[in-house]
Amino acid sequence: MSALEVGQVVAEKTYTLTRDSLVRYAGASGDFNPIHYRDDVAASVGLPGVLAHGMLTMGTAVQPVVAWLESADGPGIGAWVTDYQVRFTRPVLVDPETGADVTVVAKVGQLDADAKTARVDLTVTFGGETVLGKAQVRVAWA
């Protein structure tokens, strides 16, 4: 592992959510709210289109951190997520043809090298706007 520093970007990735992604997530989670797959229902409740499930967005956003923890550039074998919290600030609209690109940048926000812990701050955007606020992942390593 290379030495970690506050402000260091440890991961960056863009994920494309599609309508297929929403259907798969609905099946896995049991959340079959039609605003996640039917344009007419979304419009009838005043939404501009079909929305990605909030928990799907949240789960997707932590993936680059998990991949970093498991990589040679991460803190090493035995690293894990100890806490993960976000605030949902904007919906992710999933276009039926092009989907939705969600970009995640993970940066070390706080570091305690002696305790072998860090807070990784996530910037999660869709269409140039932040969709998860105060997205923070606490990690620890052996």
In-domain check, residue 33: no
Which parts of the chain have pLDDT scores under 70? 1-2
pLDDT at 7: 97
Number of structural domains the chain divides into: 1
Domain contains 127: yes
pLDDT, tens digit (0-9, with 9 covering 90-100), for 121-132:
999 999 999 999
Q: Is residue 121 domain-resident?
A: yes
pLDDT score at 128? 96
Percentage with pLDDT > 70 across the chain: 99
Domain with 127, as residue range(s), is 9-16+53-140
Question: Does 4 map to a domain?
Answer: no
Q: Return d(Cα 8, Cα 74) in angstroms, integer.
A: 12
Reduce the secondary structure of the chain to three states and give it as a string.
Answer: CCCCCCCCEEEEEEEEECHHHHHHHHHHHCCCCHHHCCHHHHHHCCCCCCECCHHHHHHHHHHHHHHHHHCCCCCCCCCEEEEEEEEECCCCECECCCEEEEEEEEEEEEEECCCCEEEEEEEEEECCEEEEEEEEEEEECC
pLDDT value, residue 30? 97
Q: What does the pLDDT read at residue 3?
A: 83
CATH code of 117's domain: 3.10.129.10
